Chains A and B, each alone.
Chain A
Amino acid sequence: MAFFTPQSGGSPNADEIASLYRIILYIALVIFVLVEGALGYALWKFRARKGAVAAQIRGNTRLEVGWTVAAAVILVVLAVITFAKLSAIQDPSNSGPNGQHLVGSDGVLYASAERKLPPNGKALNITVVGRQYLWQYVYPGAAEADGLGAPYAYEQMVVPTETTVSLDIVSSDVVHSWWIPELGGKFQAVPGYHNYTWFKISKPGVYRGQCANLCGRGHARMIADVKAVPPAQFEAWLAYQKVLIAEANAQAKIARAKLGKQIGAGQVENP
């Protein structure tokens, strides 16, 4: 694991954040050595000795203006570097050729000025729902017109590689924070708001994370994993998931009908 930098390697935005971090780290190290060095030197060199007399200096306007301007210039440079990197961190690229057929333009459903989509406007949109103490992932492909019957998963999100995945992060109770270190930064799930981020994974594997905002006693165990698999495998998984959910819904329908007969129609709430 990284010692001096944030984790990266899963998705381009995480890589770009780590590279921006490294640039700041190099500048910071130089400043750190210079300032701590000056402090240490002043303390050592000018320690009280017999016969030493302190210089009675009250200031030096040119020097003071100089270091004020120097500090400001360094920060302007940092701001410029950040702005130069910003687009690579925030704006997703198009999906690769193998993932292209998986993405739709159904981002329209969640249209928002804040949601960043790739240049062709197509991404695999997954809704991430935070709740005490579990993450739920809702995939596109609702079976019914009202949005019900969409495939979903808990805790582990399965995604295709080489595909731009756009996340719509929401919460159903308290504030949570979505964070997979190797796939980019944290984004809070605030009830009543939508928050967005994205990632695009090239290497299959499991990327681990967990809720990063205190959400109650189970906060430490609110795990979030992302499992990246090749697109074909993803399609198979999603189809199987749809079958399972359809089966479960059908069974629930039968159970509801049975229950309705037993206790009288109209007494059973529709989900």
Chain B
Amino acid sequence: MATYAPPIPQIVTHRAESSKPQGWTSWFTTTDHKRIGILYMVTTFVFFLLGGVEALMMRLQLGAPNNTLVTPQVYNQLFTMHGTTMVFLFVVPMMAGLANYFVPLMIGARDMAFPRLNAMSYWLLLAGGLVFYASVFWNPPEAGWTSYAPLSNSYFSPGGGQDAWIYLVHLTGLSSILGAINLYATIANMRAPGMSWGRLPLFVWAILTYSVLIIFAMPVIAGAVTMLLTDRHFGTHFFDPANGGSALLWQHLFWFFGHPEVYIMVLPGFGVVSEILPVFARKPIFGYKAIAASTVAIAFLGFLTWAHHMFATPIPEAILVFVMLSSFLIAVPTGVKIFNWIATLWRGTVEFKTPLLFCAGFISLFIIGGISGVFLAVFPVDWQLNETYFVVAHIHFVLMGGAVFTIFAAIYYWFPKITGRMLSEGMGKVSFWLMYWGFLITFLIQHVIGLDGMPRRVYEYDNVGHLALYNQISTVGSFILALGVLVTVFNVARSVKSGVIAGPDPWKANTLEWFTSSPPPPNNFDVVPRVRSVEPMKDIRREVERRSAAPAADPGGATVPAGAMQVGV
């Protein structure tokens, strides 16, 4: 295991006063963005583990043809819980947690714009999760995370689980909207002096875009589930074709939210990668403006492509063609990002630390997910591929490869800042390789399962062709993947108490969160430095080196006390 010497010269900006001792009850009343961020991250990771257990149960059921491990009802509940958990209770709020902790630090702010609103966002999220998981003890929902009407109406899904799902969408949606408004206000108003839009860290650009997407997309699903709720209980007929409603309307409303939701989930991950790659390649990000602009372009185009989830529905051909072309168009800025990331590595000096490995793994997986997305955008081809395991493979390459691998990169990269201790590099690498190969074994073969005609969301299948073998391979892979996740869980649990002390800036990184101590004091910064470039820490390190070299030649420099060096002010 590598050991980390604190970087020399040391930069310390806060006064040496420790934060007041706080009891465990203070977690319920805190409005500190960092503690709320930790609450978000820990809570959502617990939901990630629950969703993972649901996935493993499904893979066990599918490990053999015509298996009878779980009943059809339980199987439908499992995939409904799994999808809903991963989207609403893990990826989106985990990104909110990372943003909560790091956006104020990266822009040199002392907290979020609305600290109490911030606390409320978290508690709404937890309430949503608890309401949803409480349904496990009664009737879990079983209409899929997409909850297509009329299957989700009160006639076909009389159980209360469907209502629990509706409340989950409402509560987490409200949480996300409030959080997004807060993040937007923070980024717009609280940046350090000198941090113009052109010097905003790319993670913050991604979070800004994420916030705008949430503000536009979430109200649509909130409206749709409200209509479903009144259809179920108050006698309306929005989605009831027998009384003048439209079953197709649900699909339009759901995917008008659902497609931007994909970008809500992956854009922050793109931001994480754009932060980590330059640090470990020791090279500036290649094409800062192109990456920021492509983030915004993807977000805009994301609102024009929702009907590519509906190629098999009865809609006019003109719409099929339009949506195919708009989906093609969105591949351009996505490709640009990948080229820029590779160019960032090019001619750098790449240090294979765990965060870099997860980022490189992410890029290699996302290339596959992006390419399979082009197949799905061609609507006649999609007629064969949609609703099969090919699509299951695709969404996992973009969401697990795209969001989960970047979240793990973020965990390994920022854990030292949050806790003041390093994670074990050795265990990190073991975790990465288990997750990477586990992922490929699980999901590559699922493309073939889909091409061989196995639809998704089926609890059993006949052993036609090699379906049994392919499914066994996938099941074995899923357990390797799970083992990789557990290694990181163990790594985190151990390193919180006994990891190597990290110091303020263990990676020699570029952005302002590394300017303060690890973990940061409650007020983040006593002195906020003036930002002169997109990599303020590089400027600050250069300045510190200059000053520490200075005393021999220039006695004036020695009057700055080492413990309170106000760099770059």
**A residues within 8 Å of B by Cβ?**
1-7, 14, 16-18, 20-21, 24-25, 28, 31-32, 35-36, 38-40, 42-43, 46-49, 52-60, 63-64, 67-68, 71-72, 75, 78-79, 82, 85-86, 89-90, 114, 132, 173-175, 177, 179, 181, 184-188, 190-196, 208-221
Contacts and interface: CB of A to CB of B under 8 A. Distances in A.
In the A-B complex, the 10 residue pairs with the closest CB atoms:
A185-B383, A192-B241, A220-B458, A1-B465, A6-B384, A42-B345, A55-B347, A54-B282, A195-B314, A48-B349
Given A47-B352, A68-B332, A212-B388, 8 more contacts: A4-B448, A7-B451, A32-B367, A60-B286, A60-B343, A85-B380, A208-B464, A216-B151
B290 A59 contact: yes
Contacts of B73: 217
- Kindly name the residue among B283, B352, B378, B448 whose own CB sees the greatest number of chain A CB atoms within 10 A: B378
B284 A58 contact: yes
Given A174-B156, A216-B156, A185 B312 contact: yes
Contacts of A25: 375
Interface in B279-308: 281-290
A114 B313 CA distance: 12
Interface string B352-366: 100000001001100
A187 B312 contact: yes
B316 interface: yes
B336 interface: yes
Contacts of B350: 42-43, 46-48
Given A7-B451, A54-B349, A220-B458, A190 B248 contact: yes
Nearest to B79: A214
A193 B349 contact: no
B473 to A, nearest CB: 13
B387 A186 contact: yes
A57 B451 contact: no
Contacts of B273: none
24 contacts: A6-B451, A7-B452, A20-B378, A31-B371, A35-B339, A43-B345, A46-B350, A54-B282, A57-B283, A59-B286, A59-B290, A68-B332, A78-B374, A82-B380, A114-B317, A174-B151, A184-B384, A187-B312, A188-B312, A190-B313, A212-B386, A213-B148, A214-B143, A216-B76
B453 A209 contact: yes
A36 B242 CA distance: 52
A75 B329 contact: yes
A58 B347 contact: no
Interface in B199-228: none
B328 interface: yes
Report the contact-size class of chain B (Cβ under 8 Å from the partner).
35 or more
A217 B248 contact: no
> Which of B313, B382, B384, B466 is packed against the most chain A CB atoms within 10 Å?
B384
B383 A17 contact: yes
B340 interface: yes
Interface of B: 72-73, 76, 142-144, 148, 150-151, 156, 241-242, 246-248, 281-290, 312-314, 316-317, 324-325, 328-329, 331-332, 335-336, 338-340, 342-343, 345-352, 360, 363-364, 367-368, 371, 374-375, 378, 380-388, 448, 451-453, 455, 457-461, 464-466
Contacts of A47: 349-352
Given A17-B383, A190-B313, A82 B388 contact: no
A3 B470 CA distance: 11
Contacts, number: 249
Contacts of A184: 383-384
Given A82-B380, A218-B72, A67 B247 contact: no
B342 A39 contact: yes
A124 B3 CA distance: 76
B241 A214 contact: no
Nearest to A55: B347
Contacts of B316: 114
B366 to A, nearest CB: 10
B284 to A, nearest CB: 5
A181 B453 contact: yes
Given A1-B466, A217-B72, A39 B367 contact: yes
Contacts of B144: 214
Contact of B378 (A46, A59, A82, A194): A82
B409 to A, nearest CB: 15
Given A39-B367, A48-B351, A71-B332, A58 B286 contact: yes
A189 B448 CA distance: 26
Contacts of A212: 386-388, 455
Nearest to B457: A214
A184 B312 CA distance: 12
B8 to A, nearest CB: 19
A270 to B, nearest CB: 21
A21 B381 contact: yes
Given A17-B383, A75-B332, A39 B286 contact: no
Contacts of A67: 335-336, 339
Given A57-B286, A71-B336, A35 B347 contact: no
B149 to A, nearest CB: 8
B241 A75 contact: no
